[in-house]
Structure 1
Amino acid sequence: MMALYINWDFDSEIINIYGFPLKYYGLLFACGLLLCMYILKRIYRRENLKDSAHEALFIYGIVGIFVGARLGHCFFYDFDYYSKNLLEIILPIKKTLNGEYKFIGYAGLASHGGTIGLITSLYLYSKKYEIKYLKILDLIAIVAPLGATFIRLANLMNSEMIGNPTTMPWAFIFSRIDNIPRHPAQLYEAISYLIIFIIVFTIYKTKNIKLGNGFMFGLAISLIFTMRILIEFVKINQVEFENGMKLNMGQILSIPFIIIGIYFMGKNLTRKETK
């Protein structure tokens, strides 16, 4: 039976140059972002939006995602530690037992925080470039599930966010963690988000249904965070305080996004165009 399982033994580092590691996480994060920007460039041209606005979107997007994801991890998942080590929130370092600081990269990023950060930065972007806020949210929502796909593949390469033990034949043994067959929860999410991307992108391309501003945004976030809630049931808890909770932090934080998504979709079912 063990022969059926997939032995996952990837080193998270691709190369280490003088103590500065290049990791699969960073590479996949960058690849996902660049692919999303490429698709968005074509979408911008289709929507007759300026190239200069697309170029600026990269800066607004990456700052919003990264700052939000970092703060989300520090405040939602490990506030007790980071409240006592404020420097580590903004710098990619960690204090060792002997009191020295070591470069480790930004090891903690939370998707819910990244979503909040992106939505916030896009508001500032919409004001600067005079694009309707809901319109830009719709355009970003088309590629957001694809970006999330790459992030979960990055988690897989890091052997993090692993699943509960299972005897399913497609189980992964994350040998850098333990020798227990587990659900490849990262892969479940990556596949789910890829399917969501295909659905949302197809709806946008066909435009057989007249949709008001905000519908694509509502559809994408409601589907993404519904899948997040469901897949969390086969994942181990990320932090100790989640033990004993009926819903973990990731599931609790997903609920408001689903409600917001349903609101915007429902709004479009009653009115063709949001004002």
Structure 2
Amino acid sequence: MLVHPQIDPVAISVGPLSVHWYGLMYLLGFTLFILLGRYRIKHNPHSVFTYETLDDALFYGMLGVILGGRLGHVLFYQFGYYLEHPLQIFAIWEGGMSFHGGFLGVIIAMSLVARKHQLKWLSVTDFIAPLVPLGLGAGRIGNFINAELWGRPTDAPWGMVFPYVDELPRHPSQLYQFALEGIVFFIFIWIYSAKPRPTGAVSGMFLIGYGVLRSFAEFYREPEDGFMGVLTLGVTMGQWLSIPMILTGIAVLIWANRQATSHPSPQTNNPHKRKKR
């Protein structure tokens, strides 16, 4: 049996100013986003993205992640608590961010990027999809440091006691999600996007991949109070929110492949252009 190390959530403190590990994990995620994005642009001269587009995607994306993620957590998971403690909505450094809320925020943000740079919306989301998983993984490490979103009780030898919760050994579900949503998902979507795909295919696969992995992880994660509780048919809120993602991803993937079949690109039909690429 393991015991949570109870890491101080404050990484650096100088006088009245404190820098929390949770915030640093988000900073790490945004840094990885820009580094991976620049790598993709550098190694693909035909990319629809430029460095300027990437910088705008990071700026708008940060706003979408933070605002959408926080509002999603408030509305989807602990609405009753924040209704009684409205000022706590702004205490982002204490944790409490919803992926699904952040995802909706990013969707809106990327539509603004597409409009500003006159690009297809799905071309923008196709480009950024492989840049996201490592940031998700960093966020899960932040959850682990904060000792939040712990797992369900288990008798597995790696079960971990979270002293602030109770004395029961539990699944370290934050680490499960770090491995699945961060590392495994990154490797999968990065390899998938490395080959030429129809517009929208990478976005569709991202929706399917995340929805499936998140739904699986929910079986080991302790449902929170409020709207996060296990709902109808034993399905958690995280799983309910992932179902539309999976269905939408399947629809987008089918649409993308049909569009590619009925409207093949000139590069695909011209062998000389293929050689140049």
What range is the shorter-chain TM-score in? 0.7 to 0.9
User: Which of 245, 253, 257 is 1:265 aligned to?
Assistant: 253
Distance 1:84 1:266, change over 3 A: same
CA deviation after TM superposition for structure 1 residue 173, in Å: 2.1
Structure-to-structure mapping, 1:101-140, within 5 angstroms: 105=93, 107-140=95-128
CA distance in 2, matches of 1:267, 1:12: 45
Mean alpha-carbon deviation: is it higher for 265-274 or for 183-192? 265-274
Determine whether 1:22 maps to 2:19.
Answer: yes
Structure-to-structure mapping, 1:7-156, within 5 angstroms: 7-45=4-42, 46=44, 47=47, 49-83=49-83, 86=86, 88-89=88-89, 91-92=90-91, 105=93, 107-156=95-144
**Regions of 4+ moved over 6 Å:** none
Q: CA RMSD in A?
A: 2.2
CA deviation after TM superposition for structure 1 residue 197, in Å: 0.8
User: Which of 202, 216, 219 is 2:191 aligned to?
Assistant: 202
Distance 1:123 1:84, change over 3 A: same
Match of 1:98 in 2: none
- Which structure 2 segments of 5+ residues have no match? 264-277
CA distance in 1, matches of 2:16, 2:223: 31
Letter in 1 for 2:79: F
CA distance in 2, matches of 1:114, 1:17: 30
Cα contact 1:225–1:257 (8 A) shared by 2:
yes
CA deviation after TM superposition for structure 1 residue 242, in Å: 4.4
Mean alpha-carbon deviation: is it higher for 57-66 or for 173-182? 173-182
Q: Aligned with 1:29: secondary structure? A: helix
Match of 1:229 in 2: 215
- Which structure 1 segments of 5+ residues have no match? 93-103
Cα contact 2:78–2:226 (8 A) shared by 1:
no
CA distance in 2, matches of 1:170, 1:140: 35
Letter in 1 for 2:7: F
- TM norm structure 1: 0.85
Identity %: 30
Mean alpha-carbon deviation: is it higher for 105-114 or for 258-267? 105-114
CA deviation after TM superposition for structure 1 residue 40, in Å: 0.7
Letter in 2 for 1:44: I
Distance 1:272 1:110, change over 3 A: same
Letter in 2 for 1:9: Q
Match of 1:99 in 2: none
Letter in 1 for 2:142: A
CA distance in 2, matches of 1:144, 1:171: 29
CA deviation after TM superposition for structure 1 residue 106, in Å: 5.5
Letter in 2 for 1:164: R
CA distance in 1, matches of 2:81, 2:72: 14
CA deviation after TM superposition for structure 1 residue 85, in Å: 5.3
Instruction: Write the deviation string for residues 168-217 of structure 1: whole angstroms up to 9, x where unpaired.
Output: 11222223433321111111111112111111111222x1xx42111111
Cα contact 2:95–2:146 (8 A) shared by 1:
no
Q: Aligned with 2:93: secondary structure? A: coil
CA distance in 2, matches of 1:84, 1:178: 25
CA deviation after TM superposition for structure 1 residue 52, in Å: 1.6
Match of 2:237 in 1: 249
Match of 1:177 in 2: 165
Letter in 2 for 1:235: R
User: Which of 186, 190, 206 is 1:220 aligned to?
Assistant: 206
Distance 1:48 1:236, change over 3 A: closer
Match of 1:95 in 2: none
